[in-house]
Structure 1
Amino acid sequence: MTSPALFTPIRFGRLALPNRIMVSPMCQYSAVDGNPVDWHLIHLGSLAISGAGLLCVEATGVTPEGRITPGCLGLYSDQNQAGLQRVVQALRSVSQIPLAIQLSHAGRKASSRAPWDGGALIAPDAGGWLPIAPSALPQRPEEPAPRAMTAEDIGQVIDAFAAAARRARAIGFQAIELHMAHGYLLHQFLSPLANRRDDGYGGALEHRMRLPLEVFEAVAEAAGPGLPVGVRLSATDWVEGGWDIAQTIELARRLEARGCAFVDISSGGVSPLQKIPLGPGYQVHLAAQVKREVGIPVVTVGLITDPAQAEQIVAQGQADVVALARGLLHDPRWPWRAAAELGGTVAAPKQLLRALPGGHPPIFGDVKIGQR
């Protein structure tokens, strides 16, 4: 029997994935001084035995000031590295799922409260810090402006991304995703809504792409040839005059030429004026447009919750990989359900085999389950 498209293998550079389901990076806002806590072990441990083809750890700040909130993960210190090493070792004790980490700098969206505390900026005298950005333009009109970055700041950010990549490699992550989406720093440089610079990093598209491409090159060099580096992009700002799909395609081509292993296509985040047409798979058409123009794997994400929908996306060539976030929080065994409905195969720990009919492998609907 032919395997469903969603359950066929794929490669991100040298990294082989057993299927086309990716656990999307999901911020937990629960770290302490950038260090993971027991919650991360429980949360990521559950997702590691989900049967997905790739697990990507949440947006991780490359500097203390690059964290979205004081509770976000970091990878800028030896203590951060040791904490994430402990997490990876724990995950490896229960699963061989490929592991990636998303490296990020929040730019003007840094120093914010957790979403469940309202998400507002935290002033420096209230325990926050002064964010940096391409230009002194606030995320929202009522917020104080960030500090416009100097040439020295830009160089330090590039170095910080590279240093975090070296730490990620030492920890044992098998892929890196660079966060150039959702209104964070590298997206801020790309979007004319956030970037009003008049130097070599602002203005024309060529200049607005400069820092993201320099960061990619520095990270790829630091990661080395065996560690694939991909990029998450917001394909559109959903605001007239902002970053759009045509510019995204051009950037994706530039990234591919520099050895990018995959592009993960999302949207929005840079402006409160965005008008997003939410609905099942509302970003798939954006991924499909990018896929037609590049030869590297394309990931799609956003309100994809039905296995038949995910299978159709991959089978029709709209994207190569489907990423899930909230769907996997709601149903941490979503890949099992998808395999059962579609006739695919996933792997699971032997401790879970009692969930199968008769309490033993190999049949669960059409799912063959064995020790990974």
Structure 2
Amino acid sequence: METMLFTPMQLGPLTIPNRISVPPMCMYSAKSGVVQLFHKMHYGHLAASGAGLVCIEAMAVTPDGRITDSDLGLWSDECEQGLRELIALMREIEPGCKVIVQLNHAGRKGSVTRPWDAPQRAVEPMDGGWRVRAPSPVPFAPGYPTPRVFDFKECGELALAFGDAAARAVRAGVDGIEIHMAHGYLIHQFLSPLSNQRIDEYGGALDNRMRFAREVMNAVKSAVPETTAVGLRVSATDWEPEGWTLEDTVRLVKLAKSQGLHFVDVSTGGNTPDAKIPVGPGYQVPFASRVKEETGMPTFTVGLIRDAWQAETLLREGAADVIDIGRGMIDDPHWGWHAASALHVKEVPGLVVPPQYLRGLSY
């Protein structure tokens, strides 16, 4: 059968060979922000998964922008060299797979232990952590430290740090940049009235709360060539009364489109610890569908999408343009191959598979 899942998609200057994307998933395995052998094994597998696009996990733009001390970073020459080696390896394994990277600053959610070091907790500076910074002095949750507030000048400087990291990513060989504005990290903290209580030009009305996001977008776009795709990851709702809303998200994505960004990856939540989120297969798809319909921006959707027929149906219904397969790819690093088989596709031009593995395809 002819499928949409294995047709190309245009993201501004970047053409991806199919509509399967591996979203950024933190592995918490770096040392001083630098790529390690684990990352090369992990992303090498994903480059050969059949996906048309792989987004490398969040890379902090400054050392204090990390979530944990095991996060990847992109603030130094050593970090840049590690990313260059990783991308070269991915391209050697499967040149057809496009590679982008997510840039992030954790803000008030930084300086914590890794998720499997339960219970997850904040790490004090005396124990190897750092003093966290945020738009307002509002801790993320009980037991988390009260963050130091970014002053007006520091906000501008940090926006430029995103641009510097984007320039490093381009020198390392990426096809695109995804700016992380979701999941309760720093840019989301500026956007949401639950975490932004400022009374200066970065707080209050929605346009002011979007100011930092706009400055980051401008800094990144100014730092990369026109051949580099640039997009954003958003949380479409805080799932909280009086929080960030889907309507706010639509305005943000329209702003991003006017700034020349090329795609949006739609997620939800993450800015408060106790939000009541109805997690289930495809639970975030309606938000992506609304963003796509109202903005016309090429839209990725995510949220426990595991089945090839489910992914194909979402595309045919026009709910999204690209399907993120995250946990499904961790469970099955050949998800793309198996999707082609499940959809009864005999010849798949859009399926990127190293020639050494072709004999392993089951269709």
TM-score range (shorter-chain normalised) is over 0.9
1:294-330 deviation digits (Å, cap 9, x = unpaired): 1220000010001111011111000000001111000
Task: Give yes or no for the alignment of 1:37 onto 2:36.
Answer: yes
Dislocated runs of 4+, deviation >2 Å? none
SS at match of 2:73: coil
Partner residue in 1 for 2:231? 230
- Report the Cα offset of residue 155 of structure 1: 1.7
- Report the Cα offset of residue 120 of structure 1: 1.2
- Report the Cα offset of residue 201 of structure 1: 0.3
Partner residue in 1 for 2:333? 332
Instruction: Write the distance in 1 (CA, Å) between the matches of 2:90 and 2:332.
Output: 19
1:96-131 deviation digits (Å, cap 9, x = unpaired): 110000000000011111001133111011100011
Instruction: Write the distance in 2 (CA, Å) between the matches of 1:143 and 1:168.
Output: 32
Task: Give yes or no for the alignment of 1:6 onto 2:5.
Answer: yes
- Report the Cα offset of residue 166 of structure 1: 0.5
Partner residue in 1 for 2:356? 351
Instruction: Write the distance in 1 (CA, Å) between the matches of 2:322 and 2:155.
Output: 33
- Report the Cα offset of residue 347 of structure 1: 2.8
Partner residue in 2 for 1:205? 206
8 Å CA contact 2:281–2:303 kept in 1: the answer is: yes
Q: Which amino acid aligns with 1:197?
A: R
Instruction: Write the distance in 2 (CA, Å) between the matches of 1:287 and 1:210.
Output: 23
Q: Among the aligned pairs, what percent are the same residue?
A: 48
Structural mapping, 1:57-76, within 5 Å:
57-76=56-75
- Report the Cα offset of residue 152 of structure 1: 2.2
Instruction: Write the distance in 2 (CA, Å) between the matches of 1:353 and 1:256.
Output: 39
Instruction: Write the distance in 2 (CA, Å) between the matches of 1:172 and 1:353.
Output: 27
8 Å CA contact 2:52–2:352 kept in 1: the answer is: no
- Report the Cα offset of residue 355 of structure 1: 1.6
Instruction: Write the distance in 2 (CA, Å) between the matches of 1:209 and 1:306.
Output: 36
For this pair of structures, how many residues does the alignment match? 357
Instruction: Write the distance in 2 (CA, Å) between the matches of 1:28 and 1:257.
Output: 33
8 Å CA contact 1:134–1:189 kept in 2: the answer is: yes
1:235-282 deviation digits (Å, cap 9, x = unpaired): 000011100100000111111111111000000000012110011000
Q: Which amino acid aligns with 1:191?
A: S
SS at match of 1:173: coil
Instruction: Write the distance in 1 (CA, Å) between the matches of 2:93 and 2:139.
Output: 44
Structure-2-length-normalised TM-score: 0.97
Structure-1-length-normalised TM-score: 0.94
- Report the Cα offset of residue 217 of structure 1: 1.0
Structural mapping, 1:149-298, within 5 Å:
149-298=150-299
Partner residue in 2 for 1:112? 112
Instruction: Write the distance in 1 (CA, Å) between the matches of 2:16 and 2:354.
Output: 18
- Report the Cα offset of residue 221 of structure 1: 1.0
**Aligned-pair RMSD on alpha carbons?**
0.9
Instruction: Write the distance in 1 (CA, Å) between the matches of 2:144 and 2:358.
Output: 52
Instruction: Write the distance in 2 (CA, Å) between the matches of 1:347 and 1:217.
Output: 33
8 Å CA contact 1:25–1:58 kept in 2: the answer is: yes
8 Å CA contact 2:113–2:123 kept in 1: the answer is: yes
- Report the Cα offset of residue 92 of structure 1: 1.3
Unmatched 5+ stretches in structure 1: 357-363, 366-372
Instruction: Write the distance in 2 (CA, Å) between the matches of 1:27 and 1:351.
Output: 29
Report 1 or 2 for greater relative contact order, CA contacts < 8 Å, sequence distance ≥ 6.
Answer: 2
SS at match of 1:93: helix
8 Å CA contact 1:4–1:343 kept in 2: the answer is: no
8 Å CA contact 2:137–2:146 kept in 1: the answer is: yes
Unmatched 5+ stretches in structure 2: none
Partner residue in 2 for 1:93? 92
Instruction: Write the distance in 1 (CA, Å) between the matches of 2:142 and 2:93.
Output: 47
Instruction: Write the distance in 1 (CA, Å) between the matches of 2:354 and 2:7.
Output: 20
8 Å CA contact 2:99–2:175 kept in 1: the answer is: yes
SS at match of 2:59: strand
